[in-house]
Amino acid sequence: MTAPFDWTTLSTAGGLTLRIRPEQPGDGPVLVDLFQHLSSSSRYLRFSKAMVAPDLQRVQQEAERLAQLGPPTDMAWLAFTDLPEMPDAPVAAVRYIRTIPDEAELAVSVRDDMQRLGIGSALLQLACTHAQAEGLQRLTATFRSENRGIWALLRRSPFPVSWELDGAEVHAVIDLAVQPPA
């Protein structure tokens, strides 16, 4: 029998109610749904490769692989909200994967039609708080320099962020060793 989900309810700055739970084995279809709600431009900015017509079987396999990861190396959460055409719709995911004992790589994805509503900010706060409680000192992110959405998201980080430009990519480091202002 599978353990019940540990749900968290958050409200975004815009008043949207999110129901967030840890990712579980078997969540591959949810990850595929999120992927399918990303435009080819968003996919390029998120994965740094063109994905105009991706092989859906490969997408499903990767989603299932990701859904099998878990603590202590990987922490991931899925966010759901009620949409007019679909109650309890998956709208975003956040994950970090430990790369060294006190550092992890961060990834955030929000469906195109749900961006700029505060979902990414709420998930960033959740991931940072959890990572800090787990003893991580830094979260890192590498992204395309033209990805304005992630630039804006990281500028709203509750923790200090440093940046290093490397050609078309940006390497960002969120410093979890510093307590954010109240």
- Tally the C-alpha atoms within 13 A of residue 172's C-alpha that lie toward its C-beta: 22
CA 95 to chain centre: 5
Q: Which two tokens stand for residue 130?
A: 């959890």
CA 4 to chain centre: 22
Q: How far is residue 115's CA from residue 76's CA, in Å, rounded to a whole number?
A: 19
CATH superfamily of 8-175: Gcn5-related N-acetyltransferase (GNAT) (3.40.630.30)
Per-residue pLDDT of the chain (182 residues; tens, 9 = 90+): 344 568 889 888 888 899 999 988 888 888 888 888 888 788 777 666 555 565 666 666 666 666 566 555 679 999 999 988 889 999 999 999 999 999 999 999 999 999 999 999 999 999 999 999 999 999 999 988 888 888 999 998 989 999 999 888 899 999 999 876 66
Q: How far is residue 142's CA from residue 173's CA, in Å, rounded to a whole number?
A: 9
Run of H or E residues at 165: strand 161-166
Q: How far is residue 100's CA from residue 3's CA, in Å, rounded to a whole number?
A: 29
**Amino acid making up residue 53:** A
CA angle 102, 158, 133 (to 5 degrees): 40
Run of H or E residues at 20: strand 17-22
Q: Which two tokens stand for residue 174?
A: 């969120």
> What's the pTM value of the predicted model, to 2 decimals?
0.84
